[in-house]
Amino acid sequence: MKRLYGIYNGREVYAHTLTGGDLTAEVLDLGGIVHALRYRGVDVCLGFRTVEDYLASGSYAGAAVGRVANRIAGGRFTLNGKTYDIVRNDGENTNHGGAEGFDRRVFDAEERADGTLALTLVSPDGDQGFPGRLTFTAEYSVRGDELTVRYSAVSDRDTLWAPTCHLYFALSGESAPTLDDTMLRINAQTYAPIRGHLPTGEVRSVEGTPFDFREYRCIATAIAEGGDALAATGGYDHNFFPSGTPSASAYCKSTGIKLEISSDLPGLQLYTSGGLARVRGKTATYGPRTAFCLEPQFVPNAVNLSGFDVPVLRAGEKRVHTIVYRFSTI
């Protein structure tokens, strides 16, 4: 089922509804944006009322990010001995695919008989400076109380491809977003320290640090107690290395809603919306540290570091990554 949501660059943008159990998802064919996630009637993700609001926010809210999630230092990388200069849109760095990333594209949509929504985008050779003609497909399905997002891509040249889903979660409800009573657990023994917003290349133990979420901790309290380790980023904006399933789980004390996330991607970015501007959303005003993102992804800037999985997609290779969001009550 779909409804007209708006117009972008002369193309109609539709919101597609997927339902199962107590969970309903609404996905836009603009940017593959998960516009709403309603569990037992409570919308638990941030979003915006119009196409224009999404584009103006600069938040990437709910989007299928690409070609490469997170930052590439200096907007430059070397692949097969050739150096590529790509579009810089975050100071000297490239963030979330460049100034015109996948979040700002209208995908071709197919509502399949089994209830799956398939969104496909062809990114031409040289798009934002990346090599290769890349065909990217994002598939969304709701079964029971699980939303499954399946990303796949193929390119005619060697290129980089590192997707993620940039959902902002407010388990307290989108109408009153807060982290004050949200508890988080991350199944990770190690994390990637950063300088600015970029990993240093080290891997450190979470033991005895503000990054130890092996047991449930209140997100707001963890930020308040983080001190200098979180000062530069206004909260968490760090990559963890999950070592089990689920990768992470969170629950809200007031609503009783619990979220579990599982994925085959090697890293998990925790972002507590420190850079989110004060802006009007679907029904409430958002701002810094009112929601959190758990983004399965490759390590940021992995292509320019050693010791990490590098998201190279070889010519003709089809690669697939899956993220599963499971909802329940405590």
Which distant-in-sequence residues (6+ apart) come within 8 Å of 202 by Cβ? Answer: 192, 193
Q: Is residue 295 annotated as a catalytic residue, yes or no?
A: yes
Question: End-to-end distance of the chain based on CA atoms, in angstroms?
Answer: 31
Q: Which of 139, 174, 260, 295 is labelled catalytic?
A: 295
SS (H, E, C) 201-230: CCCEECCCCCCCCCCCEEHHHHHHHCCHHH
The whole-angstrom distance between residue 330's C-alpha and the CA centroid of its chain comes to: 25
CB 223 within 8 A of CB 230: yes
Q: Is residue 225 annotated as a catalytic residue, yes or no?
A: no
As to burial, measured by CB atoms within 10 angstroms (0-12 exposed, 13-18 middle, 19+ buried), residue 167 is: buried
**What gap in Å lies between CA 305 and CA 307, rounded to an integer?**
7
Query: Please, which residues bridge with residue 169 across strands?
Result: 45, 292
As to burial, measured by CB atoms within 10 angstroms (0-12 exposed, 13-18 middle, 19+ buried), residue 114 is: exposed
Q: Which of 96, 166, 238, 321 is labelled catalytic?
A: 166
Catalytic residues, which ones? Answer: 166, 295
